[in-house]
Amino acid sequence: MPKAKKAAAKKAPVADFKKKKYKVGKRLAAPDNETKIDHTSKKIALPSQRVGEQEGGEPVSNRGLSMTELLGQTSHYSSRVRREALVALNEMLLQNPGLVPQHAAHLVDRLAERFSDLEKDCRDAFRALLKSSLLPGLPGPKLLPFLHPLMLHLCCAMTHLGEEVRLDSLVSFDLILQHAPAGTLARYSNE
């Protein structure tokens, strides 16, 4: 009896499957459950798509940002983002000059603080925006309601601790003098 137990213990278990042995240099056969990944697609033309506008008809910049998003980026902590937002906003206002009188209050409110920006690139971009789109978009009497907030921020820039900010504020003041109606700045001469 003891011999029978040893023979049963030495018998190997039955294998579930037999492993295939591959030969060196021969190509492997494709598996039975292979997934085909060949996929081609054609270009779809959408004639109603407009690149320069969002769905609501609001103009967007080259990067696809609306004016409210760009105005939000003008007070970003990164000077590069602020400068790029000012440049994109300038391009948008040059392409759509009707936006300046329409959104003048919001534009002046958000952009006037750039007079005293610490970075020279941002101040230069803001001055370019003032010169090319904002001030020409508000000629004569249309500029009067927005002159006070502009001058408040400009006066803050004139008394800034940084010498570069003070010097740039004088250049910006010259821009405002060129575009403001005659006699309107007389009230700021005593302040």
pLDDT, mean of residues 112-121: 92
**CA 39-43-48 angle, 5° bins:** 145
Domain limits, the chain:
67-185
Supply the pLDDT for residue 120: 93
**What is the pTM (predicted TM-score) of this model?**
0.67
Protein fold of 67-185: Leucine-rich Repeat Variant (1.25.10)
Selected residue with higher pLDDT from 79 and 12: 79
